[in-house]
Structure 1
């Protein structure tokens, strides 16, 4: 699938992939990822939906504008993109960083949503240890370069057993990560470090929400994803996955997404 491009005010050209027609479903990748994170899902995407897979600012083939990389800035990018694509209300499903953005989007642009979801993500802000880790990550990129940071990050994204059994997926994730703009990575670390608690967005939203957690996630434990329950909340645990179910268990993740879509539409 070829990348398309759309202009965003103040942000230059943003890259995205698009497949199908119908109600819009957006898949937002995680930190130091790109739309390529979803490649294993592409042949599994059901017909009847318009799938939009953006590259976030500074990631993949998108531009890296100056300025802040707050979750609100990312959400503003997405709002402009969806308006430019004349999408109508969409379902926004975000992996990790993409989930933080989905929450900011739900808070700021609720009228643009039919539903949203967090995939290996959380409504909580960073812990103190997490904030310290963001600073150390920024220092690593500044002092040793982005590849050194990516080499340290990626092994933590997979379930421990999969580091040996899925070497191609691990290598591909490193390759994708190295395409991130280094300064954008630093600014995004700052943006994630300063994001607020948005569990209230999850508990108060009027639209359906999907929460997906991996039993072996070393980045975001299950209990930090499954923070709310209620009639509008769908919780799905992927027993075999770490932080990267789109690569570790794509069929299981797709089944969870597809059944969620059926409850929304």
Structure 2
């Protein structure tokens, strides 16, 4: 698998070639502590029509895990290194939680982001509850229990067969406590409330109405503050809105990309 480097940090990523131009791609940006499993529901819908780049955040998977604390700006520089190595000139960023914060910071630092899809993302770290995401991957019971807060009761009751695979993926791929703490520090240092007007790419802000990690009010503040912000609220969904409402979210993303990607199918 390809690897990019930012200084002395090596970052693993995957590329799935699509039918569009070689220099334009959908690029995923991960939530705090989560492995690449989190992208599976949207990846399945977008790969093929679009080239899709899936990085593993520093501290997760096969990417390096240098000592923290990390900053959002450092993670945005990692993202730039991946895009450069993959030859992506125009990046349509799909960021989840912390990954949405990284996408926003990258949009301030570079002209490469062509559009942003920000899922469960606040305008500042003090509006985000990383404890609602965390589960030690060495503790299967804690990982299983964490899904109570991340997925609605309706989804868990209707799709009990979906829970065990998520638990297995989290046990195998999520950050250990040290790496999680390093990533969490990036959230705690993040605040773009006074700079949202400087984020120029079009931005779709997606949030579950019952998200307790990134409250709906925080996502609304983000969407309202972005010059080209558009909000999409999914009724009844919690933080893993892209999992439990994957069909609705994927349809909205597909329409969004059809509007904003020059190489749309």
Bucket of the pairwise TM-score, normalised by the shorter protein: 0.7 to 0.9
User: What is the match of residue 158 of structure 1?
Assistant: 151
How does the TM-score come out when normalised to structure 2? 0.83
Decide which of 245, 249, 259 is 1:263's aligned counterpart. Answer: 259
Q: Deviations over 1:107-144 (max 9, x none)?
A: 222x11111121011112315x958x59xx7xx96xx9
User: What is the match of residue 103 of structure 1?
Assistant: 104
User: What is the match of residue 121 of structure 2?
Assistant: 121
Q: Secondary structure at the match of 1:68?
A: coil
Q: Secondary structure at the match of 2:51?
A: strand
Q: Secondary structure at the match of 2:2?
A: strand
1:56 is the counterpart of 2:57: yes
User: What is the match of residue 184 of structure 2?
Assistant: 189
CA-CA distance at 1:36 after TM superposition: 1.6
- Whole-angstrom CA distance in 1 between matches of 2:178 and 2:33: 12
- Whole-angstrom CA distance in 1 between matches of 2:145 and 2:124: 24
- Whole-angstrom CA distance in 1 between matches of 2:170 and 2:65: 15
1:171 is the counterpart of 2:164: yes
CA RMSD of aligned residues (A): 2.7
User: What is the match of residue 29 of structure 1?
Assistant: 30
CA-CA distance at 1:75 after TM superposition: 0.8
- Whole-angstrom CA distance in 2 between matches of 1:261 and 1:73: 27
**What are the ranges of 5 or more consecutive residues in structure 1 without an aligned counterpart?**
none
CA-CA distance at 1:105 after TM superposition: 1.2
- Whole-angstrom CA distance in 1 between matches of 2:98 and 2:160: 24
2:4 and 2:11 in contact (8 A); partners too: yes
The residue correspondences of 1:1-265 to structure 2 (distance < 5 A) are 4-21=1-18, 22=21, 23-45=24-46, 47-109=48-110, 111-127=111-127, 130=129, 150-151=143-144, 153-178=146-171, 179=173, 180-196=175-191, 198-227=192-221, 228-229=223-224, 232-265=228-261
1:96 and 1:119 in contact (8 A); partners too: yes
